Amino acid sequence: MITEAHLERASSALASLQAAVGKTIVGLPDVTRTTIIALLCRGNVLLEGVPGLGKTLLVKALAQAVGLQFSRIQFTPDLMPADIVGTDIITETNGHRGFEFSAGPLFANVILADEINRATPKTQSALLEAMEERTVTVGTTTHVMQEPYIVLATQNPIEMEGTYPLPEAQLDRFMFKALVRFPTESELTEIALRNTEGEGIQLPTPSISRDDILLSREVARQIPIADEMRSYISRLILATHPHSKHAPSIVREYVEYGASPRAAIALILAAKANALLEGEAHVRPTDIQRIFHSTLIHRLILNFRGEAEGVSISSLLDEIWKKTPLSS
């Protein structure tokens, strides 16, 4: 059971974390917040944006601010599963030979899977167990990842030649898809200033500990949510399915498949974490709204008509939010 002291400690730690990352990253407050919420919920994030917008720097800053081990994996077409997971190697001790597991770069706390869609599906699938189960199986041995553990993958939405689109099963493993926008004029000026004056961009020093994150996770899970809010989230998810009675007409017209039950779980957990970041003691509709788009934008699949007419999934989600009543 959470106490007021636990709530205050978690809120203070998370405020320090946001401030520390904010000193390094210019702009991107929503992406930063989404990443922190995923860390609190044992989730993973798909970061989509053109190169040079600070995605890698954001991930490094997050790991550094918590004092976690960071690992960057550059995905390429020739990357093999053993290159990221690790493999058994032959070792010799006192004249006796045997196999010893040599861990790959997947064994860290904060994993940056850079340009994940450039690797083959076989290599992409090697991430699935680590993302969902927090374990990696090599041969008959299962290795447990050290918590906290989070995978943040990036992909470029423009340069698609020579890429392998992520399958729906893997997309669903990502708790959020965060769209990294281009900076405003003032943000761009500040970015240029920080990179061309003095010592340049500096990563933050650790401002909170691993234990603070683990405590914050426990506190976030115990944030209460009313039954009415749970039912509301269920109706929002059902509204993404074209054959549901809750679906707006635009969903019936343009959507082939809606979000899975995993999306409902993600919405509840993320709403709780957002409430904690706001210093609230319970989940409110605004908490759900804050993470609604990033939780569902990668989980809807358009039908042929939707693809042909270039329908925006974001606009579909806006309509779902607008047409779904809070009370049944």
CATH number at residue 183: 3.40.50.300
Sequence-distant (≥ 6) Cβ neighbours of residue 170 within 8 angstroms: 124, 125, 127, 128
In the 8-state DSSP scheme, what is residue 214?
Answer: H
pLDDT at residue 153 in the model:
94
Give the confidence band of 195 by pLDDT, cuts at 50, 70, 90. confident
Residues 218 and 243 grouped into a single domain: no
Q: Please tell me whether the peptide bond between 81 and the residue prior to it is cis, using omega within 30 degrees of 0.
A: no
pLDDT at residue 217 in the model:
94
pLDDT at residue 160 in the model:
66
Beta strands in the chain (DSSP E): 45-48, 70-74, 86-93, 96-103, 110-114, 135-138, 141-144, 150-155, 176-179, 255-257, 301-302
Domain residues for the domain of 281 are 225-328
Distance of CA 310 to the CA centre of its chain: 26
Residue 193, Cβ density class (10 Å: 0-12 exposed, 13-18 middle, ≥19 buried): exposed
Residues 218 and 250 grouped into a single domain: no
Q: Contact 131/44 with Cβ under 8 angstroms? A: yes
Residues 216 and 245 grouped into a single domain: no
Residues 121 and 213 grouped into a single domain: yes
In a domain, 277, yes or no: yes
Per-residue pLDDT for 173 more than 70?
yes
Rounded to an integer, what distance in angstroms lies between the CA atom of residue 25 and that of residue 178? Answer: 15
Residues 44 and 58 grouped into a single domain: yes
Per-residue pLDDT for 306 more than 90?
yes
pLDDT at residue 122 in the model:
86
**CB atoms near residue 110 (< 10 Å):** 22
| Rounded (10°) CA dihedral 271, 294, 38, 143 | 130
CATH number at residue 326: 1.10.8.80
**SS3 per-residue string spanning 237-305:** HHCCCCCCCCCCHHHHHHEEECCCHHHHHHHHHHHHHHHHHCCCCCCCHHHHHHHHHHHHCCCCEECHH
Condensed to tens digits (0 to 9), the pLDDT of residues 66-122 reads 999 999 999 999 999 889 988 878 887 777 888 777 888 999 999 999 999 888 888
Give the confidence band of 1 by pLDDT, cuts at 50, 70, 90. low
In a domain, 196, yes or no: no
Condensed to tens digits (0 to 9), the pLDDT of residues 237-249 reads 999 999 999 999 9
Tell me the backbone φ, ψ of residue 297, rounded to 5 degrees. -65, -25
Among candidate residues 99, 125, 111, 100, the one with its CA nearest the CA of residue 43: 111
Which neighbouring-strand residues pair with 89? 100
Longest dimension (CA), the chain: 73
Give the confidence band of 4 by pLDDT, cuts at 50, 70, 90. confident
Model-level pTM? Answer: 0.91
Condensed to tens digits (0 to 9), the pLDDT of residues 20-49 reads 998 889 888 899 999 999 999 999 999 998
How many domains does the chain contain in total? 2
In a domain, 198, yes or no: no
Please compute the mean of the pLDDT values over residues 128-149 and round it to a whole number. Answer: 88
pLDDT at residue 254 in the model:
96
Token representation of residue 59: 């991930």
Plot region of 28 (φ>0 → left; ψ -120 to 50 → alpha; else → beta): left
For residues 319 and 140, the model is more confident at 319
Per-residue pLDDT for 266 more than 70?
yes
The string of DSSP letters for 178-194 reads: EE-PPP-HHHHHHHHHH
